[in-house]
Amino acid sequence: MENLYSYDYQFRLIVVGDSTVGKSSLLRTFCDGMFSPDPDPTVGVDFNVRIVEIKPGVKVKLQLWDTAGQERFRSITRAYYRNSVGVLLIYDTTNYVSFTHVTNWLNDARQQIEPYHCVFLLVGTKIDRESERQVSTEEGKAFADFHDISFIETSSKSSLYVQEAFAMIAREIYDLLIEGRIHVQKGWDGVKPGPNTNNPNQNQPIDITQNSETRRSGCCGSSAS
Ligand SMILES: Nc1nc2c(ncn2[C@@H]2O[C@H](COP(=O)(O)OP(=O)(O)OP(=O)(O)O)[C@@H](O)[C@H]2O)c(=O)[nH]1
Ligand SMILES: [Mg+2]
Protein backbone atom coordinates (compact mmCIF):
# COMPACT_ATOMS: atom_id res chain seq x y z
CA MET A 1 0.00 0.00 0.00
CA GLU A 2 1.13 3.57 -0.70
CA ASN A 3 2.59 5.45 2.23
CA LEU A 4 0.64 8.71 2.07
CA TYR A 5 3.13 10.41 4.39
CA SER A 6 6.25 9.78 2.34
CA TYR A 7 6.68 12.10 -0.63
CA ASP A 8 8.88 14.96 -1.84
CA TYR A 9 6.25 17.30 -3.24
CA GLN A 10 2.52 17.64 -3.49
CA PHE A 11 1.06 18.77 -6.82
CA ARG A 12 -2.52 19.85 -7.05
CA LEU A 13 -4.16 19.01 -10.38
CA ILE A 14 -7.63 19.73 -11.70
CA VAL A 15 -9.50 17.68 -14.32
CA VAL A 16 -11.95 19.60 -16.52
CA GLY A 17 -14.03 19.08 -19.64
CA ASP A 18 -17.62 18.58 -20.81
CA SER A 19 -19.99 16.28 -18.98
CA THR A 20 -19.60 12.55 -19.87
CA VAL A 21 -16.17 12.92 -21.52
CA GLY A 22 -14.81 10.51 -18.89
CA LYS A 23 -13.08 12.67 -16.26
CA SER A 24 -14.21 10.61 -13.26
CA SER A 25 -13.53 7.36 -15.11
CA LEU A 26 -9.98 8.46 -15.88
CA LEU A 27 -9.37 9.19 -12.19
CA ARG A 28 -11.02 5.97 -11.07
CA THR A 29 -8.85 3.90 -13.38
CA PHE A 30 -5.76 5.79 -12.27
CA CYS A 31 -6.47 5.74 -8.53
CA ASP A 32 -8.40 2.47 -8.04
CA GLY A 33 -7.74 0.47 -11.21
CA MET A 34 -11.50 0.15 -11.71
CA PHE A 35 -13.83 1.08 -14.56
CA SER A 36 -17.60 1.44 -14.32
CA PRO A 37 -19.79 1.45 -17.47
CA ASP A 38 -22.43 3.46 -15.64
CA PRO A 39 -20.99 5.92 -13.11
CA ASP A 40 -22.98 8.77 -11.57
CA PRO A 41 -22.32 12.24 -12.94
CA THR A 42 -20.07 14.26 -10.65
CA VAL A 43 -21.86 16.75 -8.44
CA GLY A 44 -19.73 19.82 -7.77
CA VAL A 45 -16.18 18.61 -7.12
CA ASP A 46 -14.64 15.30 -6.01
CA PHE A 47 -11.20 14.64 -4.63
CA ASN A 48 -8.64 11.83 -5.08
CA VAL A 49 -5.07 11.28 -3.97
CA ARG A 50 -2.29 9.14 -5.36
CA ILE A 51 1.44 9.02 -4.83
CA VAL A 52 3.59 8.41 -7.89
CA GLU A 53 7.31 7.95 -8.29
CA ILE A 54 8.03 10.21 -11.22
CA LYS A 55 11.79 9.61 -11.30
CA PRO A 56 13.92 7.15 -9.36
CA GLY A 57 13.72 8.28 -5.73
CA VAL A 58 11.35 11.21 -6.38
CA LYS A 59 7.83 10.72 -5.05
CA VAL A 60 5.04 13.15 -5.70
CA LYS A 61 1.65 13.19 -4.06
CA LEU A 62 -0.97 14.09 -6.65
CA GLN A 63 -4.01 15.80 -5.22
CA LEU A 64 -6.58 15.32 -7.96
CA TRP A 65 -9.70 17.44 -8.21
CA ASP A 66 -12.43 15.96 -10.36
CA THR A 67 -14.94 18.56 -11.51
CA ALA A 68 -18.49 18.33 -12.81
CA GLY A 69 -18.82 19.05 -16.52
CA GLN A 70 -22.42 20.18 -16.23
CA GLU A 71 -22.89 23.89 -16.79
CA ARG A 72 -24.80 24.43 -13.53
CA PHE A 73 -21.67 23.58 -11.52
CA ARG A 74 -19.36 25.91 -13.46
CA SER A 75 -19.03 28.55 -10.75
CA ILE A 76 -17.97 25.89 -8.21
CA THR A 77 -15.36 24.51 -10.63
CA ARG A 78 -13.88 27.96 -11.23
CA ALA A 79 -13.04 28.30 -7.56
CA TYR A 80 -10.68 25.31 -7.79
CA TYR A 81 -8.48 26.52 -10.65
CA ARG A 82 -6.49 29.07 -8.73
CA ASN A 83 -4.73 26.60 -6.44
CA SER A 84 -3.86 24.11 -9.20
CA VAL A 85 -0.46 23.71 -10.82
CA GLY A 86 -1.77 21.39 -13.52
CA VAL A 87 -4.93 21.15 -15.60
CA LEU A 88 -6.00 18.04 -17.51
CA LEU A 89 -8.22 19.25 -20.36
CA ILE A 90 -10.41 16.33 -21.29
CA TYR A 91 -12.44 15.63 -24.44
CA ASP A 92 -14.08 12.49 -25.74
CA THR A 93 -12.57 11.23 -29.03
CA THR A 94 -16.05 9.90 -29.96
CA ASN A 95 -17.75 13.27 -29.40
CA TYR A 96 -16.60 16.11 -31.67
CA VAL A 97 -18.59 18.75 -29.79
CA SER A 98 -16.63 18.03 -26.61
CA PHE A 99 -13.43 18.69 -28.59
CA THR A 100 -14.72 22.05 -29.85
CA HIS A 101 -15.36 23.08 -26.23
CA VAL A 102 -11.76 22.48 -25.12
CA THR A 103 -10.87 26.04 -26.15
CA ASN A 104 -13.44 27.37 -23.68
CA TRP A 105 -12.08 25.16 -20.89
CA LEU A 106 -8.54 26.25 -21.66
CA ASN A 107 -9.42 29.96 -21.73
CA ASP A 108 -11.47 29.67 -18.56
CA ALA A 109 -8.63 27.93 -16.74
CA ARG A 110 -6.02 30.44 -17.92
CA GLN A 111 -8.19 33.33 -16.81
CA GLN A 112 -8.72 31.91 -13.33
CA ILE A 113 -5.16 30.70 -12.77
CA GLU A 114 -3.11 33.69 -13.88
CA PRO A 115 -0.81 35.05 -12.57
CA TYR A 116 0.17 31.64 -11.15
CA HIS A 117 2.06 29.06 -13.18
CA CYS A 118 0.19 26.14 -14.64
CA VAL A 119 0.90 23.13 -16.87
CA PHE A 120 -1.80 21.89 -19.24
CA LEU A 121 -2.25 18.40 -20.67
CA LEU A 122 -4.80 17.72 -23.41
CA VAL A 123 -6.36 14.25 -23.03
CA GLY A 124 -8.58 12.54 -25.62
CA THR A 125 -10.52 9.69 -23.96
CA LYS A 126 -12.33 6.46 -24.95
CA ILE A 127 -9.90 5.27 -27.63
CA ASP A 128 -11.18 1.71 -27.10
CA ARG A 129 -14.22 2.86 -29.12
CA GLU A 130 -12.15 3.30 -32.26
CA SER A 131 -15.02 2.63 -34.70
CA GLU A 132 -16.96 5.57 -33.18
CA ARG A 133 -14.05 7.99 -33.30
CA GLN A 134 -14.96 11.56 -34.38
CA VAL A 135 -11.74 13.39 -33.48
CA SER A 136 -8.57 12.16 -35.15
CA THR A 137 -5.28 11.88 -33.30
CA GLU A 138 -3.86 14.46 -35.73
CA GLU A 139 -6.56 17.01 -34.81
CA GLY A 140 -5.89 16.55 -31.11
CA LYS A 141 -2.16 16.86 -31.63
CA ALA A 142 -2.54 19.96 -33.84
CA PHE A 143 -4.65 21.69 -31.16
CA ALA A 144 -2.09 20.86 -28.49
CA ASP A 145 0.83 22.01 -30.66
CA PHE A 146 -0.97 25.26 -31.47
CA HIS A 147 -1.44 26.01 -27.77
CA ASP A 148 2.01 24.69 -26.87
CA ILE A 149 0.73 22.04 -24.49
CA SER A 150 1.27 18.27 -24.19
CA PHE A 151 -1.16 15.71 -25.59
CA ILE A 152 -2.15 12.09 -25.01
CA GLU A 153 -5.05 9.77 -25.86
CA THR A 154 -6.34 7.25 -23.32
CA SER A 155 -8.86 4.54 -22.59
CA SER A 156 -10.04 4.22 -19.01
CA LYS A 157 -11.90 1.06 -19.94
CA SER A 158 -8.78 -0.76 -21.11
CA SER A 159 -6.39 1.33 -18.94
CA LEU A 160 -4.49 2.36 -22.06
CA TYR A 161 -2.10 5.29 -21.42
CA VAL A 162 -3.89 6.33 -18.20
CA GLN A 163 -0.80 5.99 -15.99
CA GLU A 164 1.25 7.68 -18.71
CA ALA A 165 -1.05 10.71 -18.79
CA PHE A 166 -0.56 11.46 -15.09
CA ALA A 167 3.14 10.64 -15.20
CA MET A 168 3.53 13.02 -18.15
CA ILE A 169 1.97 16.05 -16.45
CA ALA A 170 3.63 15.30 -13.10
CA ARG A 171 7.08 15.06 -14.72
CA GLU A 172 6.54 18.26 -16.67
CA ILE A 173 5.62 20.12 -13.46
CA TYR A 174 8.57 18.59 -11.61
CA ASP A 175 11.02 19.59 -14.34
CA LEU A 176 9.73 23.18 -14.24
CA LEU A 177 10.07 23.16 -10.48
CA ILE A 178 13.66 21.98 -10.65
CA GLU A 179 14.44 24.49 -13.40
CA GLY A 180 13.01 27.23 -11.16
CA ARG A 181 10.13 28.19 -13.44
CA ILE A 182 7.52 27.03 -10.94
CA HIS A 183 8.11 27.50 -7.24
CA VAL A 184 6.60 26.86 -3.86
CA GLN A 185 4.76 29.97 -2.74
CA LYS A 186 3.03 30.95 0.44
CA GLY A 187 -0.70 31.32 -0.02
CA TRP A 188 -0.78 29.08 -3.10
CA ASP A 189 -1.50 25.34 -2.88
CA GLY A 190 -0.46 24.33 -6.41
CA VAL A 191 2.87 22.92 -5.20
CA LYS A 192 3.77 22.12 -1.62
CA PRO A 193 6.90 20.51 -0.20
CA GLY A 194 6.41 17.03 1.26
CA PRO A 195 7.68 15.54 4.51
CA ASN A 196 10.61 13.65 2.96
CA THR A 197 13.87 15.17 3.99
CA ASN A 198 16.17 13.84 1.29
CA ASN A 199 15.32 16.59 -1.19
CA PRO A 200 17.57 19.58 -0.64
CA ASN A 201 15.14 22.03 -2.31
CA GLN A 202 12.00 20.97 -0.57
CA ASN A 203 11.70 23.39 2.29
CA GLN A 204 12.80 26.55 0.63
CA PRO A 205 10.83 28.57 -1.87
CA ILE A 206 12.59 28.49 -5.24
CA ASP A 207 13.57 31.88 -6.57
CA ILE A 208 12.48 32.20 -10.18
CA THR A 209 13.21 35.87 -10.64
CA GLN A 210 16.26 35.21 -12.81
CA ASN A 211 14.25 33.00 -15.15
CA SER A 212 10.98 34.88 -15.23
CA GLU A 213 11.44 35.94 -18.86
CA THR A 214 11.47 32.38 -20.14
CA ARG A 215 8.45 30.21 -20.73
CA ARG A 216 8.20 26.59 -21.48
CA SER A 217 5.79 24.36 -23.31
CA GLY A 218 2.45 24.17 -21.52
CA CYS A 219 3.35 26.71 -18.88
CA CYS A 220 1.29 29.82 -18.46
CA GLY A 221 1.48 32.82 -16.23
CA SER A 222 4.29 34.72 -14.68
CA SER A 223 5.77 34.82 -11.23
CA ALA A 224 3.28 35.71 -8.52
CA SER A 225 4.59 36.69 -5.17
N1 LIG B 1 -15.81 2.89 -23.67
C2 LIG B 1 -15.40 3.78 -22.77
N3 LIG B 1 -16.30 4.45 -22.02
C4 LIG B 1 -15.84 5.36 -21.14
C5 LIG B 1 -14.47 5.62 -20.97
N6 LIG B 1 -14.34 6.60 -20.03
C7 LIG B 1 -15.59 6.88 -19.62
N8 LIG B 1 -16.49 6.15 -20.28
C9 LIG B 1 -17.94 6.18 -20.11
O10 LIG B 1 -18.40 7.51 -20.34
C11 LIG B 1 -19.50 7.82 -19.47
C12 LIG B 1 -19.20 9.10 -18.68
O13 LIG B 1 -18.08 8.87 -17.83
P14 LIG B 1 -17.74 9.79 -16.57
O15 LIG B 1 -16.38 9.39 -16.15
O16 LIG B 1 -18.82 9.75 -15.56
O17 LIG B 1 -17.74 11.24 -17.25
P18 LIG B 1 -17.44 12.64 -16.55
O19 LIG B 1 -16.61 13.42 -17.50
O20 LIG B 1 -16.90 12.43 -15.20
O21 LIG B 1 -18.89 13.32 -16.46
P22 LIG B 1 -19.41 14.46 -15.41
O23 LIG B 1 -19.11 13.99 -14.05
O24 LIG B 1 -20.90 14.57 -15.67
O25 LIG B 1 -18.72 15.73 -15.78
C26 LIG B 1 -19.70 6.59 -18.59
O27 LIG B 1 -20.72 5.80 -19.14
C28 LIG B 1 -18.37 5.87 -18.67
O29 LIG B 1 -18.48 4.47 -18.48
C30 LIG B 1 -13.52 4.90 -21.78
O31 LIG B 1 -12.30 5.05 -21.72
N32 LIG B 1 -14.05 3.99 -22.65
MG1 LIG C 1 -17.54 12.98 -13.33
49-106 pLDDT tens trace: 999 999 999 999 999 999 999 999 988 888 899 999 999 999 999 999 999 999 999 9
User: Cα of 191 to ligand 1 centre, how many Å?
Assistant: 28
CA angle 117, 112, 106 (to 5 degrees): 80
Residues with CB under 5 A from ligand 2 (ion): 23-24, 42
Contact by Cβ (8 Å): 221, 117: yes
Percentage of residues in the chain with pLDDT exceeding 70? Answer: 85
Q: Is the pLDDT of residue 108 over 90?
A: yes
Tell me if 74 CB under 6 Å of ligand 1.
Answer: no
Q: May I ask the CATH class of domain 9-210?
A: alpha beta
Of the pLDDT bands very low, low, confident and very high (cuts 50, 70, 90), residue 117 is confident
Distances (CA, A) of 89 to 78, 124, 164, 186, 201: 14, 9, 15, 26, 30
- What span, in angstroms and rounded, lies between the C-alpha atoms of 138 and 154? 15
Of the pLDDT bands very low, low, confident and very high (cuts 50, 70, 90), residue 1 is low
User: What residue segments make up the domains of the chain, in order of their start?
Assistant: 9-210
Higher pLDDT residue, 204 or 54? 54
Q: Return the pLDDT at 116.
A: 82
The residue among 55, 48, 53, 3 whose CA lies nearest residue 23 is: 48
